[in-house]
Structures are given as C-alpha cells and as structure tokens.
Amino acid sequence: MPQKIIDLDPTKPIEITVGELQFPPRSLIILLGDYDPALDDQVLSIMSRVIVPGALDPGALVLDDARSSGCAALLGRAALDQDQMPPVLGVIPHDRAETDVEANHDVVLRLPAAWSDGCKWTFQIAEQLVKDGSGEKPVLVVLFGGKDAEKKAAVRCARRGWPVLVISETGGLADQITDAITRRADGTLPAAPVDPELREIVETAIVYPSSIDAPTDDLTRIVFGRIDARPETVGATLQVAWARLDEMDMAARVRQRRFRSLEMTLILLAVQAALLAILTVTAPPRLAAYLHTWYIPKGSLHFLMILTPIAISIIGAYNSHFRDGTKWILLRGSAEALKREIFRFRARAGVYGDAQCLQDSRESKLAAKVKDITAALEQSEVNKTHLELRPTRDTKRETFLAPDEYVSVRLRDQTAFYIGKTRQLAVQLTWMQVLIYVAGGTGTLLAAIKFDIWVALATAVVTGLTTKLQVDQVETSLVQYNQTLASLRNIETWWTALSRWEKGRLSNIDLLVDQTEKTLESETAGWVHQMQSALDKLTEKEPVSKAS
C-alpha cells in the first residue's frame, strides 16, 4: 500500500487543492506508458539509471498513474533500490482498486467521481505543481509505447509546449511518432498522419526521439539537460559570459575615448600649423608688439611653428604603433558578438533551444562561444593591451527570458539606442557639413579680396572637418543605423501582430531571436569593416586581422 492516498475535494479550485499539498515547486517528469511487458527489464534499467537519478539530483518530482504494473511499478522498484527515496507522486481515478496502486509512491492523489476525464485533471494538477511565482519549472514527459490514453496526454503536452522524450521500439504511439518524424533515405519526411491527434502531436509537439536501446549517457543528457534548471547553474554560466563582455566593453570605451582625443588633437594641430605658418610670414609689427605686452617672448611663433609638426609626428607615431582605433573596433565587434550569443542563450533560441541541446548542454555551448570569441581577440592586436574589469554583477542579467521579455530587454532597447544614435549623427552631419561649406566659402572670399595666404587656413579647416567625417564614418553610419532601425521596427511590428498562440510557437520564437540578432550582427559587421577601412586609409597600413 502507498504511504498516503489523498481524496481530492471537487468543490475546491485545483490551485487551492494542490497548494494544500505543500509540494515545493520543482522540475517535473511525467511518465506515460503502455507497452509489452517483455520490455520490463529494459524499461527498469532506464528508470534505475536515468529517471530516478534525475529525480534525486538535480532534483525533480516524478508523476505517473501509480499502477501496480507498467512504468509506475518499475519506477517504484527503482526508487526503492536507492539509498534515498526520490519524490514520486501518483494520480489515480476514483474507481481504482487499492490493490492496483503501486506501494512505493510517497503520495497518491485520488480524483473524485465528478472528475471523469482523468487526463484533463492530471495535467491541470501538473500545471499547478510546476508554477513558481511568475514562471514555471521545466517539465519533461517520457513516453513508452502508448495507446489512446497516452495519445490524448501527448496532445495536451503539445498544447502546453512540454517536450516529450519518445522511447521508440516500445510499440504503439511511441513508434508511430518516431516513424512520422524520421526522414526517409532520400531526405524527405513521410506523409502527414491521417489521425488528427497524431498529426497534431507530430506537427506541434516538441519531440526528443530516442530508443529503448539508446546508450544511457544519451538518455541522461536529454533528461538532465531539460530538468536541470537550477539558478546557480544558469547564473554561473551567464555571470562568466557577462564578465568577459564587461571587460571588452570597458576596454573598448577607453580605447575609443583615447582615439577620439588623439584624432581631434591631430586635426587641431594641423589647423594650428597652417595658422602659425601664416602668422610667421605675415604678422604685422603691431600684432607682434601686442603679443609681447602679454609676456609672450619674442620668437614664440617660430618656436611653436617648430613644435607643432614635432607634436604631430609624435602623436602620429603613437597612433601608428599602438593603434587604439583598431583595438577599439576589434573590442567593440567582439563585445557585440558575445552579447548576441548571451541573448540567444537567455532566449533559449536557435542552437540554445531545448531540441538542439540534447547532446551538449546550452551552458557548454555558450562557454565554447566565449572561448572562440576571446581566442580570436588573442590573435589580434588586442593581445598587446590590458583588459581590466571593475567587479559588477546584476543578477537580473543572469536569467532566461520569455519571448515578450526578450522583445522588451533586447529588441526595444536596441531600437531606442538606434533612435538616439540616428538623431545624434544627423545633427553632427548637418553641422559639420555647414562648417565645411562656411570654411570653403570663407576661403573663396579671402582669395577674392586678395588675402591669398589666408586661404591655406580655410583649406586646413575644411580638410580637418572632412577627415573627421571620413574617419568617424558619420554619413555611412547614419545610413546603416537607419536601415537597422527600420528592420528592428519591422520585426517588432511582426511580433506584435502575432496571436497569443502564434507567439507560443517555438518556430516563431526562434525566428524572432534569429532575425533580431542577425540584423544587429549585419550592422556591426558593416560598421567594423568600414571603420577598419577608414583607419587603414588614415594610417596607410594594411588591414589587420579582425575578430568576428
């Protein structure tokens, strides 16, 4: 006999009923099965080596039908063999004989007679068990064989987005699903099933295919990869990734400020050199006497005339050797690449989706990406600099994101960034072009009134402003940012137009994340290429290797 059979009260809401059981929220493994008893030994092995260890560590509640035969019975035997009993919960109909109730289950819930659809109420109980504040704990459904009852349960899994680990070669529904999703030798899929419920499962359910003879390690990776959602595991991986991103971001900002300062200094020195050359030749005696009354020694203009090109040479040599501009571009490109991987990971999309993390965990995939990105930097000029991190940690960044949270945190945040940047660049481009036109017109005026020597100063100003526009890639960046902004807005418009059901489809979630990150990747790649080309022209050097 089980330790406890609880008769549920049909007059109470299901959430209150489950709340009174005081089960702590945890991951959930649901067992479904109806198969040939000849497979009991193989199924028992899976229970003993995969399901029960998963229930103990990382920790999950196992839910089944608590029968004294089939999956529930084998689970009870496997649980009894452990040094510590895992948490096991059974749900039975009101007319089940107590002799047909597995004796090693901790708690068995007996549905009232009014709840005739046992599958419906079992899944409502399961929904309440995994609720954790505003979210839900992970759920994994394991299917052995199966008939009509298991088919109805699988349909409910598909509608909830709960993945199903299908153990093929166990007959029944499991083999039907496997056959329907397995590609033929020519690469094509079989025709859609005629049975409407089976077709819904095949087309909409998240299916992890495996077999009764699959290596235990493969099954363990699937089960543990789905149910192990401990915050410390996810948080630790994201903490490392964010730390490396912060390092690159801070180093990029430092190099950017230094490069901009030196760039502006060179432009001002070039204009100053032209002014000093003119004053050295044409300064009238009264101007010289006026300057001397302000305690400026005689010969100062000549001294500054000599000092200015020396300063230009020193700064130019520094730029040529240390190449802060190139380091800034490489660091910024790598930081943005890592940020894209972090947000793909947090959204659990693409290669970080559950279906693609059966052999390798998403955490190991992110760690590999961090290694690849940092290794590329180590092969560039950045390895000649120092990366310093100011210890900061924001636990809000170390969690998974629901689709709407991704839209808010990533898509809308980047949209706001590009709105601000396009406004800033448009103003900068307008004013600098106006100044270029004014300086050019002034040079023409000076030539017309016979002040030919001062035309050189106006020319120097025009050259300096033009050089800054070219190096900063203001006009090109403005065009790219506007294109990216339009694409991001189109993505958000598309997502907003989707129905609630469509927003829950994994294919649409993957598309949302993929299109957003590819749009940002395209903009960054274009910016890196154009900025590097501009710097190469400025320094008259061959392009250096760039981090992707």
pLDDT (tens digit per residue) in 337-392: 999 999 999 998 888 887 777 777 788 889 999 999 988 888 888 877 777 666 56
pLDDT attached to residue 540: 54
pLDDT tens digits, 251-284: 898 888 888 888 888 888 888 888 878 777 765 5
CATH number, domain of 179, equals 3.40.50.450
Task: Indicate if 163 and 15 belong to the same structural domain.
Answer: yes
Residue 133 pLDDT greater than 80, yes or no: no
Over residues 195-205, mean pLDDT? 91
For residue 293, name the pLDDT band (cuts at 50, 70, 90). low
pLDDT band at 201 (very low <50, low <70, confident <90, very high): very high
Token pair recorded at residue 538: 């400025």
In a domain, residue 78? The reply is yes
Rg over alpha carbons for the chain, rounded to the nearest Å, is: 34
> Model confidence over 300-341: pLDDT tens digits?
667 777 888 888 888 888 877 788 888 889 999 999 999 999
The CA distance from 507 to 500, in Å, is 14
- Which value, to the nearest 10 degrees, does the dihedral of the CA atoms of residues 529, 531, 533, 537 take? 180
pLDDT digits (tens, 9 = 90+) for 407-449: 999 999 999 999 999 999 999 899 988 999 998 898 888 888 8
| Residue 258 exposure: Cα atoms within 13 Å on the Cβ side | 17
Residues 245 and 209 in one domain: no
Q: Cα separation of 417 and 279, whole Å?
A: 46
Query: Which band of pLDDT confidence, cut at 50, 70 and 90, is reported for residue 172?
Result: very high
Residues 304 and 202 in one domain: no
Whether the bond between 53 and the residue before it is cis, its omega within 30 degrees of 0, is: no
Question: Residue 136, SS3?
Answer: strand
Domain region containing 377: 232-539
List strands edge to edge, sheet with 164-168: 4-7, 107-110, 88-92, 60-64, 27-34, 139-145, 164-168, 207-211
More confident residue, 317 or 2: 317
Q: Point out the domain boundary residue: 183, 209, 229.
A: 229
Structural domain includes residue 548: no
Q: Is residue 217 part of a domain?
A: yes
* DSSP letter (8 states) at residue 86: P
Whether residue 463 lies inside any domain: the answer is yes
Q: Which of 428, 542, 434, 419 is nearest to 488 (CA)?
A: 419
| Strand, coil or helix: 213 | coil
Query: Do 199 and 238 have their domain in common?
Result: no
- If asked whether residues 178 and 62 sit together in one domain, one would say yes
Query: Is it the case that residue 526 has pLDDT exceeding 50?
Result: yes
> Do both 410 and 491 map to the same domain?
yes
Closest CA to 489 of 397, 429, 426, 422: 422
The answer as to whether 544 is a domain residue is no
- Say if 250 falls within a structural domain: yes
For residues 434 and 447, membership in a common domain is answered with yes
Specify if 336 maps to a domain.
yes
Q: Is the pLDDT of residue 70 over 70?
A: yes
The predicted structure's pLDDT at residue 392: 66
d(CA 353, CA 357): 6
Average pLDDT over residues 119-135: 87
- Out of 171, 196, 229, a domain closes at 229
- In this prediction, residue 210 carries a pLDDT of 92
**283 and 318 both lie in a single domain:** yes
Taking phi first (over 0 means left), then psi (-120 to 50 degrees means alpha), and beta for anything else, what does residue 372 get? alpha
Nearest Cα residue to 514 out of 502, 506, 504: 506
Cα separation, 293 vs 53, in Å, equals 91
Question: Is the same domain home to 123 and 236?
Answer: no
What tokens does 83 get?
A: 């040094």
Q: How far apart are the first and last CA of the chain?
A: 63
Q: Which pLDDT belongs to residue 543? A: 38
Question: How many angstroms separate the CA atoms of 364 and 357, rounded?
Answer: 9
Pick the range with the lowest mean pLDDT from 112-126, 327-341, 452-466.
Answer: 452-466
Helix (H) or strand (E) holding 318: helix 300-322
Q: Would you state the pLDDT for residue 541?
A: 41
Q: Is residue 202 domain-shared with residue 280, that is, in the same domain?
A: no
pLDDT for residue 109 is more than 90: yes
CA dist., res. 331 & res. 326, Å (int): 9
Cα separation, 219 vs 207, in Å, equals 13
User: For the residues 83-102, what does the mean pLDDT come to?
Assistant: 89
Verify that 307 and 415 share a domain, yes or no: yes
Domain count of the chain?
A: 2
Report if residue 547 sits inside a domain.
Answer: no
pLDDT of 514 > 90? The answer is yes
For the stretch 301-312, what's the b/e string if a residue is b when 16 or more beta carbons lie within 10 angstroms of its beta carbon? beebbeebeeeb
Whole-angstrom distance, CA of residue 253 vs CA of residue 259: 10
Write down the pLDDT at residue 546.
Answer: 40
With CA atoms as reference, report the closest residue to 129 among 267, 255, 209, 27: 27
Q: Which token pair is 481?
A: 């940012």
**pLDDT at residue number 448:** 86
Does residue 249 sit in the same domain as residue 186? no
Does residue 17 surpass a pLDDT of 80?
Answer: yes
Q: For 35-82, list the strands marked E by DSSP.
A: 60-64
Q: What would the pLDDT profile of 214-247 be if each residue is shown by its tens digit?
A: 988 888 888 887 887 555 556 678 888 998 899 8
- Domain edge (last residue) among 229, 245, 260: 229
Q: Taking the CB of residue 148, how many other CB atoms lie within 10 A of it?
A: 11
What single-letter DSSP state applies at residue 192? P
Give the pLDDT score at 545: 38
Alpha-carbon distance of 174 to 22, in angstroms, equals 34
Higher pLDDT, 58 or 103: 103
